[in-house]
Amino acid sequence: MVRRDVHHRLFPPLPWLAPCWLALGSCTGAPTDDTKPDVDTDADADSDSDSDSDSDADSDADTDVPARLGLLVRTGTATADIDGYTGVETWTFTADRGNGALLCQASYALTSTAPRSDCSTCEWAHDIVISGAEVELDEDGACAVAIGADAETIASWNGEVRSYGYDDAYFGHQSVLLVDDGTGWHTSTYADYTEPDLSYQWVDGEIEY
C-alpha cells in the first residue's frame, strides 16, 4: 500500500533549511494530503493488500472448517433406597451442541453390590456395578470419540464399580446425586427422588467430533 506522507524520507530538506526545520518542524514544501483514499493494487476484488479473495490481510482464502461440537449427556433412572440400587444409565451424544441429530447412544444396567456408610450427608449410598453394556447407535464412529468405546469394546465396561449416593438437601435446599471418584464424595448433578424412584440428567459437556 502506498502512503502519501513519505516525501520527507524521499526528499530530505536542504542544509540551509535546517534551522527552520528545528524551530518550526517544517516551513517549506507542499503539505501532504492524507485525505486521498489508499489504492488497492493487488489483483483480487477485496480491499486488502493480499492476493486472496477474503477481506483480511493474510494470504490464505480462509477455508478452515469450524469445529463440530456435540453434547454428551447421561440420563439415569433407578429404584433406590437404603437397602439397594437397581437402575439403568444411558449415554447420548447429539450433534450441534445438543440441537442436532443423535450420533451415539449406549446404555447399561447398574446394580448395587454393597451399601456405603461414609457419605455423611447422604440419605443412602451404594457401590454399584455395570452390566449389560451395549452401543445402541453409532454414527460414523462418534461413540469412540464421545465415550471412548464402540460396539466391539464397550463390553469391557461390564464389571466396573461406581459409587452413587443421594442427598435430598445439599447446602440446605438442593436434591443431588453424589459420586465417589476415589477422592471423596462430590456432587454430579441434580436429581429427582420420590422414594424409591430416582431420576437424573447429567450433562458431561461438549466434545469436538
Residue 28: its pLDDT value, please? 42
Domain finish residue from 61, 88, 107: 61
Do 29 and 122 lie in one domain? The reply is: no
Same domain assignment for residues 87 and 176: yes
Domain that holds residue 82: 70-208
Would you call 64 helix, strand, or coil by DSSP? coil
Please check whether residues 57 and 159 belong to one and the same domain: no
Q: How many helices (H) and strands (E) does the chain have?
A: 3, 8
Residues 134 and 177 in one domain: yes
Number of domains forming the structure of the chain: 2
Please indicate, yes or no, whether residues 85 and 140 belong to a single structural domain of this protein: yes
- Strand spans (E) along the chain: 69-81, 84-94, 102-115, 124-138, 161-170, 174-180, 185-194, 197-208
pLDDT in tens, the chain (209 residues): 333 333 333 333 333 333 433 343 444 444 445 555 555 555 556 555 655 555 555 555 556 667 899 999 999 999 999 999 999 999 999 999 999 999 999 999 999 999 999 999 999 999 999 999 999 999 999 999 999 999 999 999 999 999 999 999 988 879 999 999 999 999 999 999 999 999 999 999 999 99
pLDDT recorded at residue 91: 98
116 shares its domain with 137: yes
- Judgement on whether residues 104 and 174 belong to the same structural domain of the protein: yes
pLDDT of residue 199: 98
Looking up cell 520527507 gives 8
- Contact, 145 vs 135, CB < 8 A? no
Q: What angle do CA 126, 128, 131 make, to 5 degrees?
A: 165
pLDDT at 62: 57
Same domain for 96 and 43: no
